[in-house]
Structure 1
Amino acid sequence: MNQPAPEKLARLRQALEAYESGAAGGGLFDREAEEAKAKVRSRALGLLDQRSRSRQELYDRLLKAEFEPDVIEDVLDDLTNAGLVNDAAFAHEWVRQRHKRRGKSASALNRELREKGVGEADRAEALEQIDPADEEAMAQTLAEKKARSIKAVPSDRKERDKALRRIVGVLARRGFNEGMSLQIAISALDARCAELRAEE
């Protein structure tokens, strides 16, 4: 069996190293294709440097920047293999941060992740972090905070309904269940009215 010449082996090794570092080398790889990938890779890494993103989100942003779809897919495959694009990890972090910091409900977060192209299994796994009891407690806290902005006991049914709508609106914008939101809002409003009457 013929062994490759040492020069040929050295040239191939050099070309592979150049290829792996994102540059074309030795004339053995398509220089033009590698240059196209390098531009897409650079833009993708810039986007990931700002914050973690789903694969679909990256794809959409890169397509909007008028890169070729095939080249985008190749680069995203490379970044996925390198562990820089990972929808499961992205979804987990997205849920953790936005539930804790922004008070978003599981249904709102599920919708956001779906819009970002995260698959059902990854979404479901990420949403397991949210305990239903914690979610209800968070809705209660938000409702109580909004109720504190009411400075006088509503004078009639119309005023009461208006105050109630404001509290429910805070919960609805974060995606909390409608029935639960109404119940919690009524309780928070009643508690606030009792406080105001006690202060009179």
Structure 2
Amino acid sequence: MSVASRGPRKEPADADPESRAREICLRMLSASPRTRAQLADALHRKGIPDDVAERVLGRFTDVGLIDDEAFAQAWVRSRHTGRGLARRALAAELRRRGVAGDTIDEAVDSLDPAQEEETARALVRRKLPATRGADPAKRMRRLVGMLARKGYPPGLAYRVVKEALDEEGADLDLAPDDPFD
């Protein structure tokens, strides 16, 4: 390995800005899929003029190298399946990546509500054994909290956890003013 191949690769300062922008985008896209906003932000940080960045990003979009709709759909499938994230959490992640609101809505709406509920049930089943021995109310809080952090609505989270604890035979002596009712 030569000394020149070690470390981060630098673009020549006198390189054509459009060539630099293409190289930056291609390098980022080869590492992982990116949204148009993520690429635009990177180009801005690297000092690429806005008009050049817009031209390069437009061309990449035209040829299909940047596709926020496909990115959002794949992100929703991957993060729901892999991490068990619900619609709310998925939408927040996509917003942080600069995906447009209507694209986010379309992607999270593709998530089947029955599948989302089944994923919540699977998460609870997986976590339930680790809570055995704890006070039933504490178990309820922990499990509902876990689902809430993953973006599940409170009503769904409470219902799924209550059903799982009921199936297990846990004695849920919840107060009538329980905040989840």
**How does the TM-score come out when normalised to structure 2?**
0.78
Q: CA deviation at 1:160?
A: 2.4
1:169 matched to 2:142: no
1:184 matched to 2:165: no
Q: CA deviation at 1:193?
A: 4.6
* Structure 2 counterpart of 1:70: 51
Q: CA deviation at 1:112?
A: 1.6
Paired residue secondary structure (1:83): coil
Gaps of 5+ in 1: 1-31, 195-200
Pairs within 5 Å for 1:1-200: 35-152=16-133, 154=134, 159-194=135-170
Work out which of the two has the higher radius of gyration on C-alpha atoms and give 1 or 2: 1
Name the % identity.
37
CA root-mean-square deviation: 1.9
Q: Which amino acid aligns with 1:141?
A: A
Q: Which amino acid aligns with 1:35?
A: D
Paired residue secondary structure (1:176): coil
Q: CA deviation at 1:37?
A: 0.8
Q: CA deviation at 1:61?
A: 2.2
- 1:97-154 CA distance string (max 9 Å, x none): 11111111122112222222222332232223211011111101111211111232x4
Structure 2 Cα separation of the partners of residues 47 and 122 of structure 1: 22
